[in-house]
Structure 1
Amino acid sequence: MMYVAACMLMAGVCMGTDWTFDAESELIPRAQWAEQLSLALLPAYSLAPDPTPDLSQCVQLLEEFANNSATLSNCLVSMARPVRLCQHCYKEYAQLKATMSKIGNPIIQNSTVTCSTILLRSDRVQVIVELNDFFDKLWSDSKCDNCLEKNGTGVSHNTSEFMNSFDSLIQCFNNTMKEPPISSEGNISRVCQICNETYQRLNTMYNGLEKKTGLCIDLEDAMNSTRKLWSKTFNCTLPCTDTVPVIAVSAFILFLPIVFYLSSFLHSEQKKRKLILPKRFKSAASVANIQDKRN
Structure 2
Amino acid sequence: MMNVSGALSVCLLVCAACLGMGWQSVDPQSLDDSLMARSVWAEQLSLSLLPPYSLSPDHQLDPNVCIQLLHEFANNSADLSNCLASMAWPVRVCQHCYKEYAQLQDTWKTIRKPVQNTSTLTCATTLLRSDRVHVIVALYDFFEEVWTDSKCERCVNDTVVLDSTVEFMKLFDELMECFNSTEGPAVPGQHGNLSKVCQICNGSYKSLNDKYTELEHGDGLCIDLEDAMNSTRSLWSGVFNCTLPCTDTVPVIAVSAFILFLPVVFYLSSFLHSEQKKRKLIFPKRLKSNANLAHIQDKTN
Instruction: Give how far 1:80 is off.
Output: 1.0
Structure 2 residue 207 is matched with structure 1 residue 201: yes
| Alpha-carbon distance between aligned partners in 2 of 1:75 and 1:285, rounded to the nearest angstrom | 107
| Deviation readout 1:10-58 (Å, 9 max, x if unpaired) | 67468x555899xxxxxx9577446644653444x64689744222221
SS at match of 2:115: coil
Matched, 1:174 2:166: no
Matched position secondary structure for 1:73:
helix
Confirm whether residue 130 of structure 1 aligns to residue 162 of structure 2: no
Cα pair distance change 1:11/1:187, threshold 3 Å:
closer
In structure 1, distance between residues paired with 2:104 and 2:225: 24
The answer to whether the 8 Å contact 2:59/2:118 transfers is: no
Q: How far 1:172 moved relative to its partner?
A: 0.8
Looking at structure 1, the residues matched to 115 and 164 of structure 2 have their Cα atoms a distance apart, in angstroms, of 41
Does the 8 Å contact 1:188/1:237 carry over to 2? no
Within 5 A, what are the aligned runs for 1:78-227?
78-149=86-157, 152-181=158-187, 183-184=189-190, 188-212=194-218, 214-227=220-233
Q: Is the 8 A contact 2:48 2:63 kept in 1?
A: no
SS at match of 2:282: helix
Letter of the structure 1 residue corresponding to residue 183 of structure 2: M
Amino acid at match of 1:234: F
* Cα distance in 2 between the residues matched to 1:97 and 1:35: 27
In structure 1, the gaps of 5 or more residues are 22-27
Count of matched residue pairs: 284
- Asked if 1:288 corresponds to 2:293, the answer is yes
Question: Does the alignment pair 1:40 with 2:46?
Answer: no
Alignment of 1:213-252 (within 5 A): 214-237=220-243, 239-240=245-246, 243-244=249-250, 246-252=252-258
- The aligned residue for residue 64 of structure 2 is 56
Distance 1:30 1:228 in 2: 58
Compared CA separation, residues 33 and 73, structure 1 to 2 (3 A): closer
Letter in 1 for 2:179: F
Q: Is contact 2:191-2:241 (8 Å) kept?
A: no
TM-score w.r.t. the length of structure 1 is 0.82
Question: Is the 1:65–1:96 contact (alpha carbons within 8 Å) kept by the matching residues of 2?
Answer: yes
Structure 1 residues 41 and 59: CA distance shift in structure 2, 3 A: closer
**Runs of 5+ unmatched residues, structure 2:** 22-36
The superposition leaves residues 151-210 of structure 1 with CA deviations (integer Å, 9 ceiling, x where unpaired) of x21112221121111011011111111254363576532111010011111111222222
The 3 A distance-change label for structure 1 pair 233 and 180 is closer
Structure 2 CA distance for partners of 1:50 and 1:115, relative to 1, 3 Å: farther
Q: Does the CA-based 8 Å contact 2:192-2:240 persist in structure 1?
A: no
Structure 1 range deviating more: 255-264 or 46-55 = 46-55
One-letter identity of the residue aligned with 1:193? Q
Counterpart residue identity of residue 289, structure 1: A
Partner of 2:76: 68
Aligned-partner Cα distance in 2 for 1:18–1:67: 32
- With over 3 angstroms needed to count, the CA separation of the structure-2 counterparts of 1:178 and 1:147, relative to structure 1, is same
* Whole-angstrom distance in 1 between the partners of 2:239 and 2:43: 68
- In the other structure, the counterpart of 2:268 is 262
Pairwise CA RMSD: 3.3
Q: Given the two structures, how large is their TM-score scaled by the length of structure 2?
A: 0.80
